A and B are shown apart, each in its own frame.
Chain A
């Protein structure tokens, strides 16, 4: 990903009511990439997106689009015609679906003869071709958001900003639209920024992932990089790395670590990947989808870490279940409904949890005997 930056933000600052709500020193958006912004409510995802879209007055910093500084109002207005944005609320006009999709083109003075085939084509691509004559206020939530997306894509935006576009949709509408959006983004090679609460959405759409907290970027990097190597417990929790284990390194070499968990965690030994010196206190994280459950220790498994434990909680998580285990330490695992039944998992039951050394990622290390 060494492609040219389409948008370069430097020292972006936004104040609201005298309080600084955004402070992003550096953010580059590269051509053709999809960047996902994650973070809790109030972390500044929408503010960052509006700032990048030039829709919010900045209290400091600069934006460069295709190498040109966006300073004067005329440059910002020109920029607004080359990007577009879709919000959580579809914000459709009180008009037909066709008139809605055509709105941006009409604002640009595109003649009807050019407009209509483009509107038709994008409506069909988003599966709403049969709804063109329908008043927008009669649409379902999913249809409305599809209309909003068609209204955006028909403009051929050089950057597409998507501010939690699926947050108000029910699960079936959301799933279908996620698939379609994924395909369209890939086929058009769009440069896009999408904000979301959902790590699954980010994983399906994004190339890069940024995690925000209190108006700042905590971590930004490739999707796998951030998902597997969160730099601190906050990011770890946000990208779904539910199990964090703290221990002291007893041996290391060739990228492999052995650490002994504290006494309060049962004193188990865990194998993980990462570089650290013996004696250092480290934090490692394990994603729940990388933990396997079985009734007995499987001698043939390549999983180096196996721990007997008891089931503490079984929580439904959409298509699968999250099982929280007490192995002397907390461990979370995802299982399918079928596995749940086969293993007879229920609170209080005994089970063996295992994960590979490569599933346990070093998140943070501290100095000798230091506190993590």
Chain B
């Protein structure tokens, strides 16, 4: 127990000192995971909308695949993205392995199915007659899709939160495709792993607290967005 209290005390000292390296790591975490979530929102809705609005053979299979994708292990994603981006790999010409771009790519692969899966279920849970009602009010197809998304805004924001939560906390993929390079690809999770393995528990604690505060702040912001204008 002493170790924990001592760690927490030193962690607070570090945080209050506002170490520039710690600040950079935090901002990079926010940038990588934020961008990955944004990209995943576009991809996720791009998948969820057509799947929710159309009937086609194999629809159940697609939904099952998406739901499986929601539990994609980050290390598996890390492995595949690494192989893809490897110098001789199919995307090797991009030369982005061990850069933040590679981390964004890997995190987008992790978050996209999460956002797609939750968004799909959100759209499928709207009243079945709502689409016809919107069309009967004279909406064009794009207008109809926009109104459906607006109606599903609460669970859609939950999808964004789940996607962001999934990538801000993952370490496997980030360490594999980013390499935890100081000043370049080191983020809160990879730094925590490293400091812990070095025995610098107080630094690891400080980073962990920052990670929690970051996740809380972003989610509090999204929750505020989600719950405003809501009666009761």
Contact = CB atoms under 8 A, between A and B. Distances in A.
Are A and B part of the same complex? Answer: yes
Interface of A: 50, 53, 55, 77, 80-81, 83-85, 87, 89, 91, 93-94, 103-104, 107-108, 135, 137-138, 151, 155, 161
Nearest to B147: A93
18 contacts: A55-B136, A77-B140, A80-B135, A80-B136, A80-B138, A83-B136, A84-B137, A85-B136, A91-B129, A91-B133, A93-B147, A94-B151, A103-B137, A103-B147, A107-B143, A135-B231, A155-B137, A155-B138
B133 A87 contact: yes
- Of A53, A94, A151, A161, the most chain B CB neighbours within 10 A belong to A94
Nearest to B128: A89
A183 B86 CA distance: 75
Interface in B108-146: 127, 129-130, 132-133, 135-140, 143
Contacts of B135: 55, 80
Contacts of A89: 127, 129
A84 B130 contact: no
B227 to A, nearest CB: 13
Q: Which range holds the interface residue count of chain B?
A: 10 to 19
Given A94-B151, A135-B231, A138-B231, A107 B129 contact: no
Contacts of A108: 138
Nearest to A151: B137
Given A50-B132, A91-B127, A137 B231 contact: yes
Given A137-B231, A138-B231, A161 B127 contact: no
A77 B150 CA distance: 22
Given A137-B231, A138-B231, A55 B132 contact: yes
A205 B58 CA distance: 46
A53 B133 CA distance: 11
Given A94-B151, A135-B231, A137-B231, A104 B137 contact: yes
A81 B138 contact: yes
Contacts of B147: 93, 103
A53 B137 CA distance: 11
A104 B134 CA distance: 8
Contacts of A85: 132-133, 136
Contacts of A83: 136
A80 B133 CA distance: 11
Contacts of B129: 87, 89, 91
Contacts of A93: 147, 150-151
Contacts of A94: 151
B151 A84 contact: no
Nearest to B141: A77
B137 to A, nearest CB: 4
Q: Tell me which of A91, A103, A138 has the highest count of chain B C-beta atoms within 10 A of its own C-beta.
A: A91
